[in-house]
Chains A and B, each alone.
Chain A
Amino acid sequence: MGKKIKKSELKTDWSYSPALESTDHVRIPAINDLFIDGKFIPPIKGNYFKTINPANEEKLADVAEADNKDVDKAVKAARKAYNNVWSKMDPAERGKYIYRIARLIQERAREFSVIETMDGGKPIRESRDIDIPLVSAHFFYYAGWADKLEYAFPGKMAKPIGVAGQIIPWNFPLLMAAWKIAPALATGNTVVLKPAETTPLTAMKLAEIIQEADLPPGVVNIINGDGKTGRALVEHPDINKIAFTGSTDVGKLIMKSMAGTGKRYTLELGGKAANIIFEDAAIDQAVEGIIDGIFFNQGHVCCAGSRLFVQESVADTVISKLKDRMESLIVGDPLDKNTDIGAINSKMQLDKIKMYVKIGQKEGASIHQSSCKLPKKGYWYAPTIFTDVSQSHRIMQEEIFGPVLAIQTFRTVDEVITKANNIPFGLSGGVWTDKGAKIFQVSKAIRSGVLWGNTFNKFDPTSPFGGYKESGMGREGGLEGLMPYVNLV
């Protein structure tokens, strides 16, 4: 391209100015007490722990730590509310309360998304466009079921089961609270919810909304704390059901402790999804799917597409495009509207990611990282991919829960199905091909709760979600998501 057409003196190093989401409108109480029986009350022992912003390590607030006695108080409140009010209420009235919660969340969506981002480190684009809209969508969806249960289960009566203990993770804090609370309330159960100790703040905001919605006291109780609090909740004798989302290791402990107690449980555990790219796929769109699959929410996603299988004939093209695309990802301040990848949720998680990357290097895999500059303070990790990975590498077998992708190549459909299934997990997966028949062939053969065709990470309250094998049991979302909360008689 010889001739210079335009002699303009304009700079060509155009970059985006910071576009920070305002935090002025956000009110975070300095002290967050336990929410029990409709009131905020201090913990009996008076212990508090701090929650920080992982993007700058600054303290955001103190949060009450619930011990066994506080848990007991919360369960008693839930039991009382169940017996006296909620299980007896006309279902249409129950629905009205849930609709009210949905609307209030919608009205305060901006505040929720900013707090979610500050407390958890995820980019504001995600909390604003994905997390919080899905939260209200879940409440709206299950509010609709409250007075229609006889249509959900024709010929049967759907009775509530009692008090549900719900323990949720830190990757989608408010969204997981919604997944748990909405179906429980719609079916007439009461709830004791324990958020993760690194991300308690949006759940405490939700407690404010529950007060504002005038929900009868004790129907929803929210208590904070670490694994000890969770354990106290799981082992409480007056709990009828446990709903847990978190790691497979903890899930196994919960199953053991509940054996023989008669308590019901649903477990939403780890994953290591296969994202499969065939040579006849739309490659540029598949690359977007790979990026979204592994780097969405810093890879802190149980259904993350963390194992990539690329057909050999297109492997070089796909990997080269993937590396280019990684360079255009903006890593930095989660409150900047242009940020694609935010902060790692905690120091503990960052250490775990670093450990696995070391393991991958020791195993002989080739590492490639985005050249992005990481902020000095806070917890950060650059988008990372591994090539030359074998099926027997630990980075191919174990859940890393961070922005780290392990890539293998394959030659035939049978080979990739075998490899994709050769793992203890089975939560999700993706298949990319221009051939409709191949999508069905592969999706039938892969044992996972959800398999996306030519897309990834699509969520909808009407669609059930859950795992095979060590990825868990029971389904959340959709009509199936009602089942764990009802006795059919």
Chain B
Amino acid sequence: METFIHRIDQVGAQERVSRLFSRSIKKESKIEALHTVLSMIDLTTLEGKDSPGKVKQLCYKAAHLHDQLPNLPTVAAICVYPTMVAIAKKALEGTDINVASVATAFPSGMTPLEYKLNEVKMVVAEGADEVDMVISRGKFLGGEYNYVADEIASVKEACGKAHLKVILETGELVTLDNVRLASDIAMKSGADFIKTSTGKVSPAATPPVVLIMLEAIRDYFKKTGKKIGMKPAGGISKAKLSIQYLVMIKETLGQDWLNADLFRFGASSLANDVLMQILKQSTGVYQSANYFSMD
């Protein structure tokens, strides 16, 4: 386990967030940021009522964010439940958009490891490029850190070539000390990305939590030279907040992390708000929400 315990001061973390979030991002830097944000989105649908029709529509949106605007990037990936992987994969043929699948009994993770591993192997076989697993929060809070670490390592093995994102579900870990410890465990056990939340628990991604995870990634990189990615998910629906997160990445991890290889937003409605802002930058006025497709 960790030989050095990273302690986190909640008040200090919040102050740092306020400082970062008070940066004034205007003009060219704003337009550039908005485009970058679009390219980092994992366009997500994770509902019990998801159907092939819904997923196909979302896949089209992923590749055609707003065809009226030239030079827009596509999103980074589509994020779906396991039964939708094959459908998404087919719908995205010919694009470079990845398919990410949640797995390991998402969102609770309350299933024996054997079933989780089977699920992971199945989604990878169906074509998932990325796997978003959840950690066993009950075990973590019970102090069984080795169990949590071993489970992540097993899932990583089952992933094969697919990238592994490890969801900490920080809303259930509650303290920033726990967030830091869980981040360290996940990175050591093979995570390619660490991710805040399932989106099914409130609070989801909060700015202090994201900051602490970015700092954990920075320290891990300093120690090992390995670049781990970060994905905040849940509750990020506004362009302004997404730009503030870019500021946080830039000033915590540096330019290397400012791309979809190392940073993602897990979001369902963020793209349209970003598009609205991009259009506003070019026309000077906000368009009606009716001009942006709701998939």
A390-443 contacts to B (CB < 8 Å): 434
A12 contacts B7, C-beta separation under 8 Å: no
Interface centre among A12, A286, A455, by most B CB within 10 Å?
A12
Number of interface residues of B (CB under 8 A): 48
Q: Given A5-B76, A282-B7, verify A12-B251 contact (CB < 8 Å).
A: no
Which of chain B's residues have a CB closer than 8 A to the CB of A251?
Answer: none
A455 contacts B28, C-beta separation under 8 Å: no
Which of chain B's residues have a CB closer than 8 A to the CB of A286?
Answer: 12
Q: Mark interface residues in B76-94 (1 if CB within 8 Å of A CB, else 0).
A: 1100000000000000000
A283-340 contacts to B (CB < 8 Å): 283-286, 288-289, 320, 328, 337-338
A216-238 contacts to B (CB < 8 Å): none
Which of chain B's residues have a CB closer than 8 A to the CB of A12?
Answer: 255-256, 258-259
B205-257 contacts to A (CB < 8 Å): 215, 222, 226-227, 229, 246, 250-251, 255-256
B23 contacts A1, C-beta separation under 8 Å: no
B29 within 8 A of A: yes
Interface centre among A283, A284, A285, by most B CB within 10 Å?
A284
User: Which one, B30-38, B152-160, B167-175, is touching chain A?
Assistant: B30-38
A14 contacts B36, C-beta separation under 8 Å: yes
Q: Mark interface residues in B3-43 (1 if CB within 8 Å of A CB, else 0).
A: 00011110111011000001111111110110110010000
Closest B residue, CB atoms, query A454: B9
A13 within 8 A of B: yes
Partner of A14, one of B24, B77, B215, B246: B246
B11 contacts A6, C-beta separation under 8 Å: no
B259 contacts A8, C-beta separation under 8 Å: yes
A454 contacts B6, C-beta separation under 8 Å: no
A283 contacts B7, C-beta separation under 8 Å: yes
A8 contacts B39, C-beta separation under 8 Å: yes
B261 within 8 A of A: yes
Closest B residue, CB atoms, query A325: B251
User: Which one, A15-23, A205-213, A370-378, is touching chain B?
Assistant: A15-23
B29 contacts A455, C-beta separation under 8 Å: no
Which of chain A's residues have a CB closer than 8 A to the CB of B7?
Answer: 280-283, 434
Closest A residue, CB atoms, query B212: A284
B226 contacts A1, C-beta separation under 8 Å: yes
A27 within 8 A of B: no
B96 within 8 A of A: yes
Q: Given A17-B30, A320-B222, verify A454-B12 contact (CB < 8 Å).
A: yes
Interface SS of chain A? loop
B129 within 8 A of A: yes
A282 contacts B9, C-beta separation under 8 Å: yes
Closest A residue, CB atoms, query B215: A284
B260 within 8 A of A: yes
B98 within 8 A of A: yes
Which of chain A's residues have a CB closer than 8 A to the CB of B11?
Answer: 285, 454-455
Closest A residue, CB atoms, query B32: A14
B184 within 8 A of A: no
Q: Given A4-B261, A10-B35, verify A285-B13 contact (CB < 8 Å).
A: yes
B199 within 8 A of A: no
CB of B76, distance to nearest CB on chain A (Å):
5
Which of chain B's residues have a CB closer than 8 A to the CB of A283?
Answer: 6-7
Number of interface residues of A (CB under 8 A): 35
Q: Given A12-B258, A13-B255, A14-B36, verify A5-B98 contact (CB < 8 Å).
A: yes
B192 within 8 A of A: yes
B255 contacts A14, C-beta separation under 8 Å: yes
Complex Cα distance, B23 from A125, in Å, reads 10
Q: Given A6-B96, A8-B259, A434-B7, verify A285-B12 contact (CB < 8 Å).
A: yes
Which of chain B's residues have a CB closer than 8 A to the CB of A25?
Answer: none
CB of A61, distance to nearest CB on chain B (Å):
28
Complex Cα distance, B192 from A451, in Å, reads 43
Which of chain A's residues have a CB closer than 8 A to the CB of B227?
Answer: 1
B163 within 8 A of A: yes
CB of B65, distance to nearest CB on chain A (Å):
13
B73 within 8 A of A: yes
Which of chain A's residues have a CB closer than 8 A to the CB of B9?
Answer: 282, 285, 454
A362 within 8 A of B: no
Which of chain A's residues have a CB closer than 8 A to the CB of B222?
Answer: 320
B255 contacts A282, C-beta separation under 8 Å: no
B73 contacts A10, C-beta separation under 8 Å: yes
Complex Cα distance, B29 from A28, in Å, reads 32
Interface centre among A4, A285, A289, A338, by most B CB within 10 Å?
A285
Complex Cα distance, B260 from A3, in Å, reads 12
Which of chain B's residues have a CB closer than 8 A to the CB of A10?
Answer: 32, 35-36, 39, 73, 259
Q: Given A281-B7, A285-B9, A338-B23, verify A5-B129 contact (CB < 8 Å).
A: yes
B6 contacts A19, C-beta separation under 8 Å: no
A7 within 8 A of B: yes
CB of A183, distance to nearest CB on chain B (Å):
29
B226 contacts A289, C-beta separation under 8 Å: no
CB of A261, distance to nearest CB on chain B (Å):
46
Which of chain A's residues have a CB closer than 8 A to the CB of B98?
Answer: 5-6
CB of B149, distance to nearest CB on chain A (Å):
20
A11 within 8 A of B: yes
Which of chain A's residues have a CB closer than 8 A to the CB of B255?
Answer: 12-14
Q: Mark interface residues in A253-293 (1 if CB within 8 Å of B CB, else 0).
A: 00000000000000000000000000011111110110000
Which 10 pairs show the lowest CB-CB distances between chains A and B?
A285-B12, A6-B260, A19-B24, A282-B9, A337-B24, A17-B29, A285-B9, A17-B27, A282-B7, A8-B39
24 contacts between A and B (CB under 8 A): A1-B192, A1-B261, A5-B98, A5-B130, A5-B163, A5-B261, A10-B36, A11-B32, A14-B32, A16-B24, A16-B25, A280-B7, A282-B6, A282-B8, A284-B8, A284-B13, A285-B9, A285-B12, A285-B16, A328-B251, A337-B24, A338-B24, A454-B9, A455-B12
